[in-house]
């Protein structure tokens, strides 16, 4: 079976980009399996994702070396990924486990092709759940006085386990600017879409009290600007006057789990490219 790879890039838009990239792949014995592109008139940038395979006798390093020269000529920000490599995830959770449980099941059942290398939490509630899936659980309690030490433990865990993506699966702690910078571009958070209207505790109860008709969830990259990172995925669900706060929590939890899983899938499949504060998300 021919090994496959994924090339992603963005650069100032100009003629000849697709021609040059496809020609480079052809010259190195590669076959394009799928290609998606987008030119943004507002930013003047061009975005491309190419999934291709190659003869096993052709090292990926030769394609990489050729892309270095091409990338310099076009001012490209580009990455070349091994299509068969499974991303390694660290999942952070607090006392709400619906997103963690959903991710564990999707990975265990083969629906999400990643490896969850570890689960970490500031509470011990979900240690049995992680253990039932054979995944190491790290209890990292935190307080205002110990926050710097606890966040360094997270960074150490990321480095030791060679983590590709940190998933905040309802991890109810605000990350410091230091940790946000350490995880830039490789940490995804999930939150209810009521922000900023319903901040703080019990957002679904607040929404119920205001008589909302739509609830939802948003998955985004973590940045130093709290809950304002580039958005990856969103979804909504309709509700009505007859639903109780508990029913809103149940429906909201389902929506959060699905949105987070889709965001993780798009990231590990290298379908997301940053366009300033926005994202280009290829299907």
Is the domain of 152 the same as that of 24?
Answer: no
- Looking at the fold, whether 66 and 205 belong to one and the same domain comes out as no
Which of 33, 63, 82 represents a domain boundary (last residue)? Answer: 82
Q: What angle do CA 177, 180, 181 make, to 5 degrees?
A: 85
Q: Which of 13, 40, 53, 227 is catalytic?
A: 227
Task: Please give the Cα distance from 192 to 218 (Å, whole number).
Answer: 6
Which domain does 48 fall in, by range?
Answer: 4-82
Residues 26 and 148 in one domain: no
Q: Domain total for the chain?
A: 2
Nearest of 104, 165, 95, 105 to residue 136 by alpha carbon: 104
What DSSP string runs through 206-218? Answer: HHHHHT-SEEEEE
Q: Are residues 74 and 94 in the same domain?
A: no
Query: Tokens standing for 198?
Result: 């319903």
277 and 156 in a common domain: yes
Q: Output the pTM of the full model.
A: 0.93
Q: Are residues 105 and 152 in the same domain?
A: yes
Q: Going residue by residue through the chain, which has 283 residues, state the pLDDT in tens, using 9 for 90 and above.
A: 889 999 999 999 999 999 999 999 999 999 999 999 999 999 999 999 999 999 888 889 999 999 999 999 999 999 999 999 999 999 999 999 999 999 999 999 999 999 999 999 999 999 999 999 999 999 999 999 999 999 999 999 999 999 999 999 999 999 999 999 999 999 999 988 875 677 777 888 888 888 989 999 999 999 998 888 999 999 999 999 999 999 999 999 999 999 999 999 999 999 999 999 999 999 9
Q: What are phi and psi of 131, to 5 degrees?
A: -65, -35
Task: Tell whether the torsion through CA atoms of 26, 29, 31 and 37 is positive or negative.
Answer: negative
In terms of domains, do 102 and 35 share one? no
Q: Is 227 assigned a catalytic role?
A: yes
């Amino acid at each position: 079976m021919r090994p496959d790879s994924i090339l992603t890039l963005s650069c100032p838009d100009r003629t000849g980009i697709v021609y040059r990239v496809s020609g480079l792949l052809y010259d190195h014995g590669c076959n394009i399996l799928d290609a998606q592109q987008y030119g943004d008139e507002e930013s003047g940038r061009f975005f491309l994702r190419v999934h291709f395979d190659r003869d096993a006798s052709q090292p990926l390093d030769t394609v990489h070396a050729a892309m270095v020269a091409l990338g310099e000529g076009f001012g490209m920000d580009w990455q070349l990924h091994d299509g068969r490599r499974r991303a390694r995830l660290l999942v952070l959770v607090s006392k709400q486990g619906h997103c963690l449980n959903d991710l564990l099941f999707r990975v265990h059942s083969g629906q999400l092709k990643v490896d969850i290398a570890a689960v970490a939490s500031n509470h011990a509630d979900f240690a049995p759940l992680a253990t039932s899936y054979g995944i190491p659980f790290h209890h990292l309690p935190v307080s205002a006085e110990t926050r710097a030490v606890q966040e360094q433990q997270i960074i150490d865990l990321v480095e030791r386990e060679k983590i590709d993506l940190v998933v905040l699966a309802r991890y109810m702690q605000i990350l410091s600017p230091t940790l946000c910078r350490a995880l830039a571009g490789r940490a995804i958070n999930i939150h209810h879409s009521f922000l900023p209207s319903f901040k703080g505790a019990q957002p679904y109860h607040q929404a119920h009290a205001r008589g909302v008709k739509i609830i939802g969830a948003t998955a985004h990259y973590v940045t130093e600007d709290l809950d304002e990172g580039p958005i990856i995925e969103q979804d909504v669900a309709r509700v009505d006057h007859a639903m109780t706060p508990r029913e809103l929590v149940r429906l909201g939890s389902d929506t959060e789990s699905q949105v987070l899983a889709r965001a993780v899938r798009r990231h590990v499949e290298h379908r997301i490219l940053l366009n300033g504060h926005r994202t280009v998300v290829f299907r």
